[in-house]
Chain A
């Protein structure tokens, strides 16, 4: 069960980094690993772990591409990810308003 039945908050987004990744992807069509890393100020390994987690939950999709010979991995939010994140935001807002 991903969602806390009482608050409606999604457990996946309890992590600050996963919350950050989703926030970035909500407003960017796609973003590559390095830009994401720079934006969230995290280490490679840490970010990679959280990205795998989000991917396993079906919230993001990974595109592996190349720019010349360098690999360029980009991330895109999925429909399910958008929905889950929007619901999470609504739940957060409800918490603040004191509505349950």
Chain B
């Protein structure tokens, strides 16, 4: 009888150890729905951007000449769109993850979050500065590939500090970015796949794996 008790308490101890180790080293509240939300935002963004481009090229064709004014307006609109899409995606993803953390009774801002944020930010900030540098010299061709590659690297790096599965999303983004290097002119569509479709697929898979009750 005592043996049985001892065994079950040992089992409980091992379970506790595993749970605490996991919880204290990784941010595990990342919600799959965050991925879905970010993906939907990206798709809407691409849709709007595509309309903007159609308008721009439409007016160019009908008037028959190229206006530098139109082009700088387009650039500003694009930049605004990018900021808004990123902002909405970030806020909605943050909200869904915050909700999951609250449900699990885990803190949203502890040392695991800080570590995750930092390790994700390093490649992202490097990428952002790199891309701004390219834009400074009007190299538009490699913006989409660079975004995807740096984002993918950020995810691979982050996977050590959150759900390990995010690594595979990172690999996919990197591969897609590299492919897009050799498919110039399809930037927007590859963007839609990388930031839209892949996020949504990843999100649904994660949600089914960890959250569906």
Q: Tell me the chain B residues, 1-29 only, with Cβ under 8 Å from chain A.
A: 6-7, 10-11, 13-14, 16-17, 20-21, 23-25
Q: Tell me the chain B residues, 84-115 only, with Cβ under 8 Å from chain A.
A: 107, 110-111
Asked whether, in the complex, the Cβ of A20 is within 8 Å of the Cβ of B10, the reply is no
Asked whether, in the complex, the Cβ of A23 is within 8 Å of the Cβ of B111, the reply is no
Q: How far is the CA of A68 from the CA of B211 in the complex (A)?
A: 41
The count of chain A contact residues (Cβ–Cβ below 8 Å) is 22
With A24-B24, A28-B24, A39-B23 in contact, is A89–B7 under 8 Å at CB? no
Q: How far is the CA of A32 from the CA of B107 in the complex (A)?
A: 16
Question: CB of A16 within 8 A of chain B?
Answer: yes
Q: What secondary structure prevails in chain B residues at the interface with A?
A: helix
Interface residues of A (CB under 8 A from B): 7, 9, 16, 19-20, 23-24, 26-28, 31-32, 35, 38-40, 89, 92-93, 95-96, 98
Sampled A-B contacts (27; CB under 8 Å): A9-B10, A19-B13, A19-B16, A19-B17, A20-B20, A23-B17, A24-B20, A24-B21, A24-B24, A26-B21, A27-B21, A27-B25, A28-B24, A31-B24, A31-B111, A39-B20, A40-B20, A89-B14, A89-B17, A92-B10, A92-B14, A93-B10, A93-B14, A95-B7, A96-B7, A96-B11, A96-B14
Interface residues of B (CB under 8 A from A): 6-7, 10-11, 13-14, 16-17, 20-21, 23-25, 107, 110-111
